[in-house]
Amino acid sequence: MTDYNFAYLDEQTKRMIRRAILKGLAIPGYQVPFASREMPMPYGWGTGGVQVSAAVLTPQDKLKVIDQGADDTTNAVSIRTFFERTAGVETTTTTREATVIQTRHRIPEEPLTEDQILVYQVPIPEPLRFLEPRESETRKMHSLEEYGLMHVKLYEDISRHGHIATSYAYPVKVEGRYVMDPSPIPKFDNPKLGDMAAIQLFGAGREQRIYALPPYTQVVSLDFEDHPFEASKADQICGLCGATDSYLDEVIVDDAGGRLFCCSDTDYCASRRAAGHQGTVLPTSEALA
């Protein structure tokens, strides 16, 4: 495709995004405003992540795109094809081989390395948004480090339910300063955010924000002494590969409501099966394809 510039965006737009990424890395967890562009895919479908990926990709990169942990979900396929066409980059589904991974809603199970960049698609970057809809107010709260409202909300959960009733997009505090939305990853993934070897970049296109976590950054999930944070998942093992440590999807498999639990990280599951691990459910040949 020659009609468009490398990685679709024009150079001026890339420079603007790149400047925002650098400031994001310099101020971990702070949401840098950027003039998000209309992309050829709808807002809310990964335009922020796509713009960030487009600004960091080089032709030598190997790109992996996942949605819900899976490489074969339709939106992941669509974004991967977009970059194959506009940036001519090689793509892969193997986590270990990828240099740039764009993700929606998951962090891969396999620990990432210093040679990798993880780009998150973020729908609502403001962790305080559901407590205070006004941008002018939440900006003030961040500037004054006024996060009492968030703690009150979490504590109300505890008094009502006995637990914090947030199971995904669970807020974190970065380097003891900014409260940050980790994007709608399940809270099971939260512990992977801190001290990660890879660079983590977050792009919210519609909301026009970019933020970042440099490698080896302190990231703490908000909690209370008497109610410590708990990274939870279904108390099951993967029916396909037998993994006990991975985040599981629950799939309804028959009309009687029979259920199968299996890894949401499709690459993790497939490589375990390739290495000879097996779960209790024999997958059909199609599932292995």
Q: Which 85-114 positions form the footprint of another protein (CB under 8 A)?
A: 104-106, 114
Give the nearest distance from C-beta 71 to another protein in angstroms.
Answer: 9
DSSP 59-105: TT-EEEEEETTBSSSHHHHHHHHHHHHHH--EE-S-GGG-SEEEEES
In the chain, which ranges are continuous DSSP H helix?
Answer: 11-26, 47-56, 74-87, 135-143, 148-161, 190-193, 266-274, 285-288
Three-state DSSP at 6 gives coil
For this structure, is 262 an active site residue? no
Question: In the chain, helix, strand, coil percent, each to 5?
Answer: 30, 20, 50
Q: Which of 69, 203, 239, 269 is catalytic?
A: 269
Q: Which of 48, 203, 238, 239 is catalytic?
A: 238
| Residues in 50-69 at the binding interface with another protein, rule: CB under 8 A | 55-59, 67-69
Give the nearest distance from C-beta 13 to another protein in angstroms.
Answer: 8
Cα torsion for 155, 157, 158, 163, to the nearest 10°?
A: -130
Q: Which of 82, 120, 247, 268 binds another protein (CB under 8 A)?
A: 247
Only segment of 13-21, 90-98, 146-154, 221-229 that touches another protein (CB under 8 A): 13-21
Task: Give the separation between CA 46 and CA 66, rounded to whole angstroms.
Answer: 11
What are 98's two structure tokens? 């990828």
Q: Which of 108, 123, 171, 203 binds another protein (CB under 8 A)?
A: 123
Only segment of 90-98, 148-156, 221-229, 260-268 that touches another protein (CB under 8 A): 260-268
What are 122's two structure tokens? 């973020």
Reported as type and span, the H/E element at residue 194 is none
For this structure, is 269 an active site residue? yes
String marking each residue 156-185 x if it binds another protein according to CB under 8 A: -----xxx-x-xxx-----x-xx-----xx
Only segment of 90-98, 140-148, 220-228 that touches another protein (CB under 8 A): 140-148
For this structure, is 263 an active site residue? yes
| Residues in 184-203 at the binding interface with another protein, rule: CB under 8 A | 184-188, 199
Q: Which of 24, 29, 46, 239 is catalytic?
A: 29
Give 150 or 266: the residue with its C-beta nearer to another protein: 266
Q: Which of 1, 85, 130, 234 binds another protein (CB under 8 A)?
A: 234
Beta bridge partners of 221: 172
Per CB under 8 A, 40 contacts another protein: yes
Helices (H) and strands (E) in the chain, counts: 8, 12
Instruction: Supply the residues annotated as catalytic.
Output: 29, 238, 241, 263, 269
